[in-house]
Amino acid sequence: MNSFAKKVISFVLIAATLFAFCCPAFAVGETATEAPTGFTADDFLTTDGQNIVNRKGEKVRLKGVNLGAWMIFEGWLCPYEDDLDHYTVLEKLTKRFGEDKAYELFNTYMDNWITEYDLDEIKAMGFNCVRVPFWYRNFYYDDNGRKILDENGEWDLSRLEWVVSECAEREIYVVLDMHGAVGYQSDAPHNGKADSVGLYADTEQGERYRELTDELWTEIATRFKDEPAVAMYDLLNEPMCDVEATEFERRKNNEMIYTRLYDTIRAVDSEHIITMEAIWTAIALPLAWTKGWENVVYQVHFYNNSNFIFNLFAWFTKFIYSDVPMMMGEFYPHQKTTWDNCFKTLDKANYSWFLWTYKATGHGMWSSDWCLRGSKDGFERVNVDKDSYEEIARKWGECIRTENGFQDSGHYDRDVKEFI
Show pLDDT as tens, one digit a residue, over the chain (420 residues). 444 343 333 433 333 333 333 333 333 333 333 455 799 999 999 999 999 999 999 999 999 999 999 999 999 999 999 999 999 999 999 999 999 999 999 999 999 999 999 999 999 999 999 999 999 999 999 999 999 999 999 999 999 999 999 999 999 999 999 999 999 999 999 999 999 999 999 999 999 999 999 999 999 999 999 999 999 999 999 999 999 998 889 899 999 999 999 999 999 999 999 999 988 777 889 999 999 999 999 999 999 789 999 999 999 999 999 999 999 999 988 778 999 999 999 999 999 999 999 999 988 899 999 999 999 988 999 999 999 999 999 999 999 999 999 999 999 999 999 999
Cβ-based neighbours of 52, under 8 Å, separated by 6 or more = 45, 46, 59, 60, 61, 62, 231, 273, 297, 325, 352
Nearest Cα residue to 233 out of 271, 280, 182: 271
The pLDDT value recorded for residue 333 is 86
The CA distances from residue 22 to 17, 26, 27, 30, 63, in Å, are: 9, 9, 9, 14, 39
The pLDDT value recorded for residue 140 is 98
Q: How far apart are the first and last CA of the chain?
A: 58
The pLDDT value recorded for residue 80 is 97
**CA separation for the pair 403, 393 (Å, rounded):** 18
* This prediction's pTM: 0.91
The pLDDT value recorded for residue 281 is 77
The values of phi and psi at residue 226, to 5°, are -105, 10
Q: In sequence order, what are the beta bridge partners of 408?
A: 373
Q: What does DSSP assign to residue 43? A: G
Q: What does DSSP assign to residue 68? A: T
Return the beta strands (E) in 272-362 as ranges. 273-277, 296-302, 326-331, 351-355, 359-360
